[in-house]
Amino acid sequence: MPTVTYIEHDGTEHRVELPAGWTLMQGATLNGINGIEGECGGSCGCATCHVYVDESFLDKLDPPSETEAEMLECTSSPRQANSRLGCQIKAMPELDGIVVRLPETQS
Amino acid sequence: MFRFDPYSPAIDADPFPYYRTLRDDYPCFWCEEAGMWVYSRYADIVTALNDWQIYSSAKGNLVDELPNRAGNTLGTTDPPRHDRLRALIQKAVTKRALEHLIAPTEAFCNKHLDTLAGEKVFDFVGDYSSKVTVDLLFHLFAMPEEGRDLVRDKAVLMVQTDPATRKKSPEHIAAYEWMADFAANLVAERKKNPGEDLLSNFITAEIDGEQLKDREIQLTVTTLIMAGIESLSGFMSVMGLNLADHADARRALALDPSLIPDAMEESLRFNTSAQRFRRCLTRDVEAHGQLMKAGDFVMLAYGAGNRDERQFENPDIFDIARKPRGHLGFGGGVHACLGTSIARMACKIAFEELLKRYPDFTRVQEHLPWVPSSNFRSPMRLDLAVG
């Protein structure tokens, strides 16, 4: 199972294993990681699963869809070049070891 | 032998003991009555919701699908077309885009609560939740004033199934067709005089330079009306029931209304009105020792996944402090409910206003009349005694 490391805004690290195909948003909500809300349930309909993806993994991700790009304009914490929505990133074997940092606020 | 009949009034009233047996003993169950497999464990449902390529919605998402609907609505279209259709509406229904609805919703709630002044007993569904949701939807879609009760009646009928024949009855289909005609007229009118409302934007939208298909617009609007009225009212009614049944929780919310949002999430987990939806397999899948074939349907029992102790501790306890993130009360994945922000906003206001006037209420009926439906679960009438 791919491993994902979430680093909360206060520096707390959580290393969790996710079933392949589950999203980074689900990985956080299901493991009690508070820095991600996931209010819309994973339909790319809010921006409360905002993450900053470690630069070394950015190339391995598909670029954001049009909807994701629009939603990223609505993030509560500042959008950066490595901002993505956790519900749009599925934990696949090639992303094993991915590190994401969580913003200060989600809503 | 164990049976699970999603058409049975016993399941409408209390599906939860059956769900437990499904999860523990038959996690991939062939349901003869519905002619489809059933997933009941949280992890299996989430996996299916994530994997739209294998668990397709294009053959319909209702356990008993309505004629001509599959492939023509958001919920019955797979990506990438689904994502483009949804993007047309999504932005208009985000939390921030809905702030203009707060004051009108408060006014609708108070208008209907005013009419109850002096009553000792009222029907939460007929007198309150359905009235507020109809007002809100008509406002949101800028729909004509007349015909509210009729639209509501048809929305309630079209989600039902017949417990005897185990399918939609002619009356249910007729209600759906009535609603589809109503939507077609609304769309035709709006095409002539488009405004700034959500419907007009959807109707006039294009995808990749192409106008949406008429049937796609008509049936998506039909579904939005159905969901906006019936599903939203169902969500509120179940929450009302939970607060009637859990006096400590209700008193806590009346004392501190800031607890209402967490209580709503727990209500969505505990007994969401969206109990069961379906997907169709695009290839053979083996699960829990069963071989399911491409073309088979799989029922995703959200209501069962939400009570899965593999995911939620003490799942049969209604605990407003639980914060049950990741619950399946609105489904999940690409097809997660479009109206989550509207539903949360409206439900929160409805209970803020209700609890201001009635911090105490109790259930009158011992046995509730439940909506007969293979998909949804909410009381058709909920008499509450107040004061």
pLDDT for res B363: 97
Three-state DSSP state, B68: coil
For residue B77, how many C-alpha atoms fall within 13 Å in the half-sphere facing its CB?
Answer: 18
Q: Please tell me the pTM assigned to this model.
A: 0.95
Task: Name beta bridge partners: A15.
Answer: A5
pLDDT for res B225: 93
Residues of A whose CB is below 8 A from B51: 21
Peptide bond into B80 cis (omega under 30): yes
Where would I find the beta strands (DSSP E) of chain B?
A: 28-31, 36-39, 55-56, 121-123, 206-207, 210-211, 276-281, 285-287, 290-292, 297-301, 361-363, 383-386
Q: Of B90, B268, B342, which to mutate for an interface test with A (greatest number of A Cβ within 10 Å)?
A: B90
For chain B, positions 205-234, list CB contacts with chain A under 8 A: none
pLDDT for res B93: 85
Which CATH fold would you assign to the domain B9-386?
Cytochrome p450 (1.10.630)
Closest CA–CA distance from residue B118 to any residue of chain A (Å): 39
Three-state DSSP state, B298: strand
- A16-43 pLDDT, tens digit per residue, is 999 989 999 999 998 989 899 999 999 9
Return the exposure string of B58-95: e unless at least 16 CB atoms fall within 10 Å of the residue's CB, then b: bbbbbbbebeebbbbbbbbbbeeebbbbbbbbbbbbbb
Closest CA–CA distance from residue B70 to any residue of chain A (Å): 20
Residues of B whose CB is below 8 A from A39: 95, 340-341
- A50-83 pLDDT, tens digit per residue, is 999 999 999 999 999 988 998 999 999 999 999 9
The one-letter amino acid code at B319 reads: D
- B211-245 pLDDT, tens digit per residue, is 888 888 999 999 999 999 999 999 999 999 999 99
Assign A100 a pLDDT band (cuts: 50, 70, 90): very high
Percentages of chain A per state (helix, strand, coil), in multiples of 5: 20, 20, 55
pLDDT for res B169: 97
Low-confidence residues in chain B, pLDDT < 70: none
Residue of B nearest to A67 (CA): B87
- Map out the domains of chain B as residue ranges: 9-386
B336 and A40 in contact by Cβ < 8 A?
A: yes
Q: Longest C-alpha distance within chain A, in Å? A: 32
Q: What end-to-end distance do the CA atoms of chain A give, in Å?
A: 30
Q: Are B253 and B351 in contact (CB under 8 A)?
A: yes
pLDDT for res A98: 97
- Dist. CA B282–CA B297, nearest whole Å: 10
pLDDT for res B203: 87
Residues of B whose CB is below 8 A from A38: 325-326
A26 and B50 in contact by Cβ < 8 A?
A: yes
pLDDT for res B66: 95
A44 and B337 in contact by Cβ < 8 A?
A: no
User: What backbone torsions phi and psi does residue B196 show, to the nearest 5 degrees?
Assistant: -100, 5
Residue of A nearest to B96 (CA): A74
Residue of A nearest to B325 (CA): A29
pLDDT for res B199: 86
A45 and B333 in contact by Cβ < 8 A?
A: no
- Rg of chain B, C-alpha, whole Å: 20
pLDDT for res B208: 80
- Residue A48 burial (CB count, 10 A): 22
Q: B311: exposed, middle or buried (C-beta count within 10 Å: 0-12, 13-18, 19+)? A: buried
pLDDT for res A40: 92
Residue in the block written with tokens 């509210």: B148
**CATH tag, A3-101:** 3.10.20.30
B317 part of contact set with chain A, CB < 8 Å:
no
Size of interface A-B (CB pairs under 8 A): 77
Residue of A nearest to B52 (CA): A21
pLDDT for res B210: 81
Residue in the block written with tokens 């009225």: B229
Q: Among B56, B214, B209, B236, which residue's Cα sits nearest to residue B134?
A: B236
- Residue B2 burial (CB count, 10 A): 9
